[in-house]
A and B are shown apart, each in its own frame.
Chain A
Amino acid sequence: MSWTLLDKCCEKCTHSLDNPCPDYIECRVNGPLCHSDKKCKELRKKRLEEIQYGAVGAKIKIPLSSCTLASGAENIYEAVKDYVEKNGLKISISISGCFGLDFLDPWIEFTSKGMPTAIYANVKPKDIPRLIKEYFEEHDVSSAYVLKNKTGKAKGEDKVPLLDELDVWKKQYRWVSRNCGIVNPESLEEYIATGGYRGLSRSLKMSPEQVIDEILKSGLRGRGGAGFPTGIKWRITREQKVTPKYVVANADEGDPGAFMNRLLAESDPFRIIEGLTIAGYAIGANQGYIFVRAEKPLMASRLQKAVEEARKYGLLGKNILGSGFDFDIEVILSAGAFVCGEETALLAAIEGRRAWPRQRPPYPAQKGLWGKPTAINNVETLAHVATIMAEGAEAFASVGTEKTKGTKMFCVTGSVKRPGVYEVPVGTSIRYLVEELAGGAVEGSAIKAVQIGGPSGGCIPASKLDLPLDYETLQSAGAIMGSGGIVVINDKNCMVDVAKFFLTFTSAESCGKCFPCRVGLKILWDILDKITRGQGTEEDLVVLRHVANTVKYASLCALGGTAPNPVLSTLRYFMDEYEAHIKDKTCPAKVCKALITYTINEDKCIACGQCAANCPVNAISKQESGKYSIDVDKCIRCGTCYVVCPVGAVEKHSRGRRRSGGEMKW
């Protein structure tokens, strides 16, 4: 392996794993500090440049994270590698994380000395040879999506906007996600070169109490959902007399529609490791655990690699940076259970038991892992910790609201033009996120509601989009901040169906320990199912509300306590849709299967036969006129024809009031 920043510059450097230097981090980037030698300084400077432009002055960066892989980045990677090798080009290939701008995927970044850094969006493998030729041979950037800087030396620079001028970029406040999509997530060297581990080396020179004070001063609150002040949690854990103590990073991001933790861990894993190490130092723990969700194996392997890398360079292990503080981290992969996001359930899972939550108090800070004091923090919180310790509490506290400081990453998905992860100061309005950053509703639809906080959150109607995103406001509006997933629901979605969807999820994920949640959610689901089948009665709404309230107040843990939120919030804001299902037996959005029929509009039909070929029950046949039609009795309303029809000739209709359906079965 070639020389890296992390290695000695010459024999004068006294740093070694057995005798670590407290100024190691600063020295690697701005060094050497212990001796002045121009040559050594030059060496380090040159290496920093190499990191940016590659060892040969030209570099191609391909993002490899779950979201880009889903859109085919692996094929792009193969194509680039093939082309570069075949043609013997002198270009280094490196990987990176993801920007969080999912509408660009898969993207690719070209850098070369003297040329502007160009990002190409929505690339296909067959475009690769053309793009490489254009950029590296013809010095033409006109087909790039965006440029990172301008040099005036490349063709077509004026036609392409700068990244910093792009709405989705400049309107964000990228604080904790600053490295996402920029650095190579598997390289500790790059992390340190971009300012990493400064937080830890500063913390280790302070006393643990001072670190806690700094975090308290920043006003950081847990980003996992409940918003408990991190500093206070640490102080309580530190004050416990029992040893050993543990710190746990909760990377079990289970909310459907939220993936900021995955993005952070896949794109910038060292920041989380650093944050966890600082947490361990502050509370006096020597062992940390990172508990990763089973559905996100890439996240686990990136974190695992980062831990090993940090261990190799003495940033984990014994006597970290000469401070006398020992700390190690174990990455644990879950086996899949939503309830693991609940902290006491997560502890049970780490101990190798069923993930059953238990009654609090005692809180984990008093009695946690194996009965010892344990501080559990969300991944995003820990990333914030690392950044705060590097930049200082004031910089962090300069944005946000009075009660909640700093920034928060939000995932905006659903029917918006530009789904992705956006980081904004806490207290930003929902409208800003959904419209300014995510680009508003997709063509031909209108926003009806936004669902905030995953299955535990609530639906907020479009009329309330100006609400600021902070813990207290959202709670009073019937939703929760949760992990920060925002799903935009448009007028083609049925709110009763949405509520039913969330209950399908939570009732399946209920751990079954306490019965308000186990039985109550099942009953709520039954009632909603009845309503979507057009068999609901007015009485059902009363029962719905009663049971929902009981589940909310009587359940043991937060899963049950928040699971009725989607029902309660839709009952609060979308009563008209419930009434339409019950009184008129129609589904206004034409979603609920039992209340719609499909027909084919003969005027639009082009007789391509796609619908008939794809119909699973052969309910579609050719008419004498050559057009197709659907046999309503055979049709199971699966909607396949509606999806495959290239001209939109398949239409949905409300069934209207159903004829006598007989007594419904309870």
Chain B
Amino acid sequence: MVNVKLDGVEVEVEPGTTVLEAAKKAGIEIPHLCTLKDLYNGASCRLCLVKTTRGKLVPACAYQVYRDEEFTVNSLELKRIRKVNFELLLSFHKIECWKCERKGDCLLASLSQELGVEGIPVCSQCPLPPEECLLTKGILCLGMITSSGCDAECITSGGQCWGCRGPITRRDVLERAFKRYEELGFNIDDVLFRAEIFWNSVPAFEKLKKVAAEVRGGKK
């Protein structure tokens, strides 16, 4: 048995155990995406990077411990690297949470909240399945263009979103969202009117309006 020290917490494990498993035993969460036991451990997502005492970054999912070792699991530096790393991953993800089957238990959505990466809409937290979306019933909801993460009563109970948490700034998400509004028969002016209640002094609102104008312009 070897001793692994993770951010000061000591845990005893079999030699050959990965850092990730050791952390699980110690009750420490390390964010990870790609590793699946017995299926894949290629250390591809690089979100589970931890720091050794020699200052090297190693993936917790693939690094096996054979002797007493110490790791830093959470630090400002690691957090920043994980965040940028996750942003890179998300930048190639086609975000359409309102249509997504997994919106309730999406690993990306929960990680984005944990790491503080914006760009995911409120829909990811909405308890309603996609086919029961309020928008399909003609109820105007700002969930598609509002940043997720507020956990307020209105969302968790399946009510409509009023956008108090602020707009999304990612352009491609906005484009898709406005196209969706038009598809469902909403007037974009109505959407913007509703949005102005909370956002009239938010700088990102100007950008959002531009995107909206473009989407509308493209239709004509």
Report Cα–Cα, A381/B166, bound state, in Å. Answer: 60
Q: Are A547 and B88 in contact (CB under 8 A)?
A: yes
B89 nearest CB neighbor, chain A only? A515
Query: In the complex, which residues of chain B have a beta carbon less than 8 angstroms from the beta carbon of A546?
Result: 84
Q: Which residues between 153 and 211 of chain B lie within 8 Å of chain A, taking CB atoms?
A: 171-172, 210
Contact between A550 and B42, CB atoms less than 8 A apart:
no
Q: Which residues 532-547 in A have Cβ within 8 Å of B in the complex?
A: 546-547
Contact, CB under 8 Å: A359 / B62: yes
Cβ contacts A to B, 25 pairs, < 8 Å: A356-B42, A358-B43, A359-B42, A359-B58, A361-B64, A513-B42, A514-B42, A514-B44, A515-B89, A519-B88, A519-B89, A547-B84, A547-B88, A550-B84, A550-B85, A553-B81, A554-B46, A554-B49, A554-B81, A555-B46, A556-B44, A556-B59, A663-B210, A666-B171, A666-B172
Distance in Å: Cβ of B48 to nearest Cβ of chain A: 11
Residues of B within 8 A of A514 (CB): 42-46
Picked from A356, A523, A553, the residue with its CB within 8 Å of the CB of B91 is: A523
A: residues with CB less than 8 A from B are 356, 358-359, 361, 513-516, 519-520, 523, 546-547, 549-550, 553-556, 663, 666
B171 touches A515 (CB 8 A): no
**0/1 string, B89-113, CB within 8 A of A gives 1:** 1011000000000000000000000
Q: How far is the CB of A567 from chain B (nearest CB, A)?
A: 15
Task: Check B43–A553 contact: CB distance below 8 A.
Answer: no
* CB atoms of B88 and A553 under 8 A apart: no
* Contact A520–B88 (Cβ < 8 Å): yes
Within the assembled complex, what's the spacing in Å between the Cα atoms of A554 and B88?
A: 12
Q: How far is the CA of A163 from the CA of B49 in the complex (A)?
A: 56
* A550 and B88 contact, CB distance less than 8 A: yes
What's the A-B contact tally at a CB cutoff of 8 Å?
60
C-alpha spacing A547/B64, complex, angstroms: 28
Per the CB 8 Å criterion, the residue count for chain B at the interface is 23
A364 to chain B, nearest CB (A): 15
Bound CA span A523–B42, Å = 23
Beyond contacts A359-B62, A361-B64, A554-B57: 16 other A-B pairs, Cβ-Cβ < 8 A, are A356-B42, A358-B42, A513-B42, A513-B44, A514-B45, A515-B88, A516-B85, A523-B91, A549-B81, A550-B80, A550-B85, A550-B88, A554-B81, A555-B46, A556-B46, A666-B171
Taking Cβ atoms with an 8 Å cutoff, the residues of B that contact A are 42-46, 49, 57-59, 62-64, 80-81, 84-85, 88-89, 91-92, 171-172, 210
Which of B64, B91, B172, B210 has the most A CB atoms < 10 Å from its CB?
Answer: B91
Question: What residues of B have a CB within 8 angstroms of the CB of A359 in the complex?
Answer: 42-43, 58-59, 62-63
Set of chain A residues within 8 Å of B43, measured between Cβ atoms:
358-359, 514, 556
Q: How far is the CB of A526 from chain B (nearest CB, A)?
A: 10
Taking CB atoms, residues of chain B closer than 8 Å to A554 are 46, 49, 57, 81, 85
User: Which residues of B sit under 8 angstroms from A513, Cβ to Cβ?
Assistant: 42, 44
Bound-state Cα–Cα, A368 to B57, Å: 22
Complex: how many Å from CA A59 to CA B26?
Answer: 77
Most buried by A among B59, B64, B80, B81: B81
- From B172, which residue of chain A is reached at the shortest CB distance? A666
How far is B6's CA from A658's CA once the two chains are assembled, in angstroms?
Answer: 54
- Chain A neighbourhood of B59, CB < 8 A: 359, 556
Query: Quick one: closest B residue to A665, CB to CB?
Result: B171
Which one of A356, A516, A523, A666 has the greatest number of beta carbons of chain B within 10 Å? A516
One of B45, B81, B172 near A515 (C-beta < 8 A): B45
Give every chain A residue within 8 A of B92 (Cβ-Cβ).
519
Q: For residue B45, which residues in chain A have a CB less than 8 angstroms away from its CB?
A: 514-515
Give me the 4 closest cross-chain CB pairs, A-B, nearest first. A550-B84, A519-B88, A359-B62, A359-B43
Nearest to B49 among chain A residues (CB) is A554
User: Within the assembled complex, what's the spacing in Å between the Cα atoms of A644 and B42?
Assistant: 51
CA distance A556 to B45 in the complex (A): 9
Chain B residues, CB < 8 A from A519: 88-89, 91-92
Chain A residue at minimal CB-CB distance from B66: A361
Bound state CA distance, A406 and B164, in angstroms?
68
- State A258–B85 Cα separation when bound (angstroms): 32
